[in-house]
Homo-oligomer: A and B are copies of this chain.
Amino acid sequence: MCEFLHVVRASLGRLRRHPESKAWIDKDVLLDPTCIIGQGACLYGDVKVQERVRIESNAVIHGPVSIGAGSFVGSNVILGFPPKSELAKLMNRGGDLHRAPDRGELTIGRECIIRSGTCVYSGVSIGDRVSFGHNVLVRENVHIGKHTLIGTNVVIDGSSEIGERVSIQTGAYICTNCKIEDSVFLGPHVVLTNDKYVTQKKTELVGPTIRRGASVGANALLMPSIEVGEGSVVGAQSLVTGNVPPYTIYAGIPAKKLKRIPPGWRTSLLAQ
């Protein structure tokens, strides 16, 4: 079923460089001949890799995964990791991690950059030119729009919608069931939460909604199910306990209205 490549085979096309690279590539894998596959990389199951993709050393890809042209997959990246429920089932029945008939596909767009140590689960779709820092985690059922930046150590915990041209800075935490619209900025270490009673009462887990062009300062915390309005700004280190109306600055613990957004800022926002 599997085959270990001592020398990359002609049937995979003219894979360039690293002619003795020790990559583990399943027979089902479709590799464009212009791809570069690093030492120790493992491609399992139904994996499709378009032209000029570079997969660095020791990356592990569990199909079904498709990777668009010109994308970069760094060292130690893991793609297509199974969600918790599926992993438990696989462990119970001793199944193959790389063979799950009903597993959702992970699709990655063109010219994406996925830096070292990042792990993206199955059932995620990523638009073109999305850029990830190092050691990012994205769990299942997440969509990330094109041109979005996801910083180092960011965790996106599943079942969330993230727009285009969003910037999520280093170490931010996005809980499950969030909606982050286009051109939103989340500063370093921002925390979004979905569990009002911290597990002592059973509640539906609903994360925040952040509307188009809003910005949240570093280390701010958003309580469950609140909404930050279009173009608004939340100050650093704030605790947001209720909705923030559009084009308004909120800050403090708990966050309160400071003022409306100056007109010049709105212009720069709309120009994005």
Contact = CB atoms under 8 A, between A and B. Distances in A.
A236 B222 CA distance: 9
A235 B75 CA distance: 39
Interface string A231-272: 001001101000000000000110000000100110011000
Interface SS of chain A: loop
B70 A57 contact: no
Given A54-B91, A191-B218, A221-B237, A42 B39 contact: yes
Contacts of A181: none
Identical copies of this chain, number = 3
Interface string A190-230: 01010101111110000000000001111101010000000
Contacts of A167: 199
Contact of A173 (B76, B189, B269): B189
A157 interface: yes
Contact of A200 (B119, B173, B233): B233
A96 B183 CA distance: 33
B157 A155 contact: no
A81 to B, nearest CB: 7
Interface string A134-145: 110100000000
Interface string A114-125: 011101000000
Contacts of A88: 113
Given A91-B72, A236-B221, A253-B253, A189 B191 contact: yes
Interface in A37-58: 38-40, 42, 52, 54, 56-58
Interface string A68-105: 00101001101001000001100100101100000000
A56 B152 contact: no
A153 interface: yes
